[in-house]
Structure 1
Amino acid sequence: MSTPAAPPPGFVDVHAHFVTDSYVRQARAAGHEFPDGVPAWPGWSAQAHLELMDRSGIATAVLSVSSPGVHFGDPAAARALARETNEEGARIVAEHPGRFGLFASLPLPDVDGALAEIAYAFDVLGADGVVLESNAHGVYLGDPRLEPVFAELNRRSAVVFLHPTSPVCWERSALGRPRPMVEFVFDTARTVTDLLFAGTLSRCPDLKVIVPHCGGALPVLADRINGFMRLFMPGDREAPDAVAQLRGLYYDLAGPAFPRQVPALLSLADPGRLLYGSDYCWTPAPAAEAHAASFDTEPAPVAGTTWRSLTTANAHALLPRLAG
């Protein structure tokens, strides 16, 4: 008798979001009634998320707070909200063993508050990494003021999940349209380029950085960025190979991955650096299910693998706690 085939591995979703009633209430009170120009806040519950995961063949989802983050202008309130959401995320992880992970929020641009929350998130809550918005009130991630934060994350060999948010110029650049459509992908490219020019990635080689949404605009801009860095690197520093540094990052596949985004990304990133992402709950459940199903109909870029087996193996290597 033949042995029954093993079921396909469940995805590890590194780009999954949660919201709480308290978080939404505080964000609305700070003026985010229509977050990033989106018409409404999504609802979220662990049960609904688990049901979506089971329908889509997602074994584990790493939760994070999306844009607009936790800092709405008051540093003390931002520290309190980061602590509140991180503790709630850790509680959800503990209540559903093996199903959820957590990328903790930091109250940037408050550096002292961020350093305190890094220690609490990793040492007390057991977070799997941190989420950093592409900018914090106009402070981009290569800003020298953030150097102590990156030094500490590098010391911990931390996983750093980048997430886009609205650029400071969105009132003019977005043309009245939802900022996630175009502004997010360019703000991702903007902040990664800032990290490259600032030398942060060179100084922090132990960071494990995840770039969202198939790299946003980076795959088509990589050679252009590389050329400009060679021409205009500030000071007397020798320009690093920007393409090589971009190849050293990880990339999640949230968003409309096929038919164009993934092929463009594969021109830049090694398949061993690709990770699955759903963007649920900001992506509604039907669209998230369709997104997951699309990977079962596309050939994987490595012979003998599927998108499920490839991205799951990559996630387990990056986040070994989730391998069980």
Structure 2
Amino acid sequence: MSQLRRVDVHQHVVPPIWRSALAERGMSSGGWVTPAWSAEEAMAMMDRHGIATGILSVTSPGTVLADDGTGPGLARAVNEYGATLQNDHPQRFGTFASLPLPDVDAALAEVEYSFDVLHADGVVVMSNVGGKYLGHQDFEPLWEELNRRGAVVFVHPAQPPLPLLEGTPAPLADYVFDTTRTALNMALNGVMTRFPAMKVILSHGGGFLPYAAYRFAALTATAVDPDRTAESVIADLKRFYFDTALAASPSALPALLAFAEPGHVLYGTDWPFANERAGSYFNEFLDDYQHFSDGEAEGIERGSAEVLFPRLAH
């Protein structure tokens, strides 16, 4: 693509301080190798794939790497690193600020600093925090504040609290499971009903949520909570936004578009943790898809992101 139009809401940054912190602890993103990253390489990739702007985030395991009190400082450092990139290249980069959960007070302080000082485009949270999913009542004060701000919340999957399958890094299989798990947890615990002003983006097409949403709704109404209707569960699940990173396939895309509300599907790549070869693979599916409704393709590539991030609107 020669014209730079796409807004990539699922693009990662690898701040040097974060890379060093992972290395010092012998950690990785679910068994995935931490790739090289530079602003120049990122913009070159974007130029090759028609991406005008990448909204950068730090991937799993986030910025709380141990129970040693270093999480808030690491979150602040990576957020300031991202803000510098955004200030230097405001039309090429945006930022989702990292939050040092499970410390809700520290996360609230970072929300204030990230929005009011760094002018972040939104926040990123992991799908589970030490095995605690995002519908847990402990996170209510955070949702209240993000809802008050009408914030964009990007949910990135994390390794679920179970052993990895042998020879199978978490991003290959477990991440789609964990995204689905936390989304259902948020919906069934009423987060999406009580806090409708925040916009929550689920990674990777929402895992298998679009495919299984009506199963979740029917079984909730009949076997879990008889006071809820299937329709009310579907309504909550449809409040989510979804990115296309690793999800724009001939089998997944029809289910995603059939389920998502208009304007709720956004372009994503997952670069550089998903390398350029993987990105090209899914871009070809997206470019060749023949069943978009009027304006739907343009909305995925840019229009829907302009609604969530008005500073990018032309």
Superposition TM-score, scaled by structure 1 size: 0.91
Q: Paired residue for 1:323?
A: 313
In structure 2, which of residues 90, 96, 115 is the aligned counterpart of residue 103 of structure 1? 96
Offset of 1:65 from its aligned partner? 0.5
Q: Paired residue for 1:26?
A: 21
CA distance in 2, matches of 1:226, 1:297: 32
Q: Paired residue for 1:252?
A: 243
Superposition TM-score, scaled by structure 2 size: 0.94
- Is 2:203 the counterpart of 1:230? no
Q: For 1:176-187, what aligned pairs fall within 5 Å after superposition?
A: 176-187=167-178
Asked if 2 retains the 8 angstrom alpha-carbon contact of 1:60 and 1:99, the reply is: yes
CA distance in 2, matches of 1:19, 1:256: 23
CA distance in 1, matches of 2:185, 2:214: 15
1:309–1:156 CA distance, 2 compared to 1 (3 A): closer
Secondary structure at 2:96 match in 1: strand
Offset of 1:222 from its aligned partner? 0.4
- Is 2:124 the counterpart of 1:134? no
Asked if 1 retains the 8 angstrom alpha-carbon contact of 2:220 and 2:228, the reply is: no
- Report the number of matched residues: 312
- Is 2:39 the counterpart of 1:49? no
1:323–1:144 CA distance, 2 compared to 1 (3 A): same
Q: Paired residue for 1:292?
A: 283
Q: % of aligned pairs identical?
A: 42
Q: Paired residue for 2:301?
A: 311
Per mean C-alpha deviation after superposition, the further-off stretch among 120-129 and 9-18 is 9-18
Secondary structure at 1:108 match in 2: coil
CA distance in 2, matches of 1:165, 1:56: 27
Q: Paired residue for 1:4?
A: none
Asked if 2 retains the 8 angstrom alpha-carbon contact of 1:163 and 1:211, the reply is: yes
- Unaligned segments of structure 1, at least 5 residues: 1-6
- Unaligned segments of structure 2, at least 5 residues: none
Secondary structure at 1:130 match in 2: strand
CA distance in 2, matches of 1:154, 1:256: 28
Asked if 2 retains the 8 angstrom alpha-carbon contact of 1:211 and 1:252, the reply is: yes
1:148–1:92 CA distance, 2 compared to 1 (3 A): same
Q: Paired residue for 2:61?
A: 68
2:131 aligned partner, one-letter code: G
CA distance in 2, matches of 1:248, 1:122: 23
Give the alignment's Cα RMSD to 1 decimal.
Answer: 1.9
Q: For 1:58-97, what aligned pairs fall within 5 Å after superposition?
A: 58-74=51-67, 76-97=69-90
CA distance in 1, matches of 2:68, 2:258: 41
Q: Deviations over 1:65-116 (max 9, x none)?
A: 0111111123520000000000000000001121110000000111111010
Secondary structure at 2:102 match in 1: coil
